[in-house]
């Protein structure tokens, strides 16, 4: 499975199954997009077949020279041979089995405060605003989240809850109340 995207002037190609990330020129990006239209993986041998070249030439022949298209297909075949592009999903055969399994949750990260009192100019959270309105999580919402964690934790003995923000201490009373509630539930479960 191939994902393509453009970021800061770079053409980025990610082969999900191998984890390989490639920064490519416009020509290569466009060729991969044509190959990726049908959503299948190619072998190195298939990329060298005249029918694949014909497909690419039909779509991009008016934009790029034929020799350049052939060179790119050769390069893509080399990457495929090296296991860095169009790598088959070896776990695809297990999808149905995994879908049948009951989901088990072992941890929660509660965004307890969508706010920050420091408003640092360098902060990734846009001075505590996160491109949205400032808000604090209520105890009721946090309690429901803890109940969900417990109900979906299977037979796990240890569960993890992180308090995150902005600045979680801006909602200190709710943090303390949720810890107390969690400790009560711990005794029951």
CB 149 within 8 Å of CB 187: no
**pLDDT score, position 111:** 93
Q: What is the pLDDT of residues 63-109, one digit of tens each?
A: 999 999 999 999 999 999 999 999 999 988 999 998 898 889 999 99
Average model confidence (pLDDT) across the chain: 91
Last residue of a domain, one of 51, 81, 111: 81
60 and 108 assigned to the same domain: no
Structural domain harbouring 7: 2-81
Could you say which residues of the chain have pLDDT below 50? none
User: In terms of domains, do 75 and 128 share one?
Assistant: no
Burial class (CB in 10 A: 0-12, 13-18, 19+), 176: exposed
pLDDT at residue number 128 = 54
131 and 67, same structural domain?
no
State the pLDDT at residue 127: 59
Same domain for 134 and 60, yes or no, is no
- Residue 89 inside a domain? The answer is no
Beta bridge partners of 136: 113
Q: Tell me: do 106 and 181 sit in the same domain.
A: yes
Contact, 66 vs 91, CB < 8 A?
no
Q: Total structural domains in the chain?
A: 2
């Amino acid at each position: 499975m191939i994902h393509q995207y453009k970021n800061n002037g770079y053409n980025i190609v990610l082969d999900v199954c191998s984890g390989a990330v490639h920064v490519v020129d416009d020509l290569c990006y466009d060729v991969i997009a044509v190959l990726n239209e049908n959503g299948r993986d190619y072998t190195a041998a298939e990329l060298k077949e005249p029918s694949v070249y014909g497909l690419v030439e039909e779509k991009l022949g008016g934009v790029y020279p034929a020799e350049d298209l052939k060179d790119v297909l050769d390069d893509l075949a080399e990457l495929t041979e090296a296991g860095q592009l169009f790598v088959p999903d070896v776990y695809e055969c297990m999808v149905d089995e995994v879908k049948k399994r009951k989901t088990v949750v072992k941890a929660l990260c509660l965004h307890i405060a969508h706010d920050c009192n420091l408003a640092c100019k360098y902060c990734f959270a846009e001075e505590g605003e996160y491109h949205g309105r400032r808000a604090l999580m209520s105890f009721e919402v946090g309690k429901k989240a803890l109940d969900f964690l417990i109900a979906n934790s299977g037979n796990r003995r240890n569960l993890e809850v992180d308090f995150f923000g902005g600045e979680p201490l801006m909602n200190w009373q709710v943090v303390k109340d949720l810890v107390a509630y969690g400790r009560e539930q711990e005794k029951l479960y």
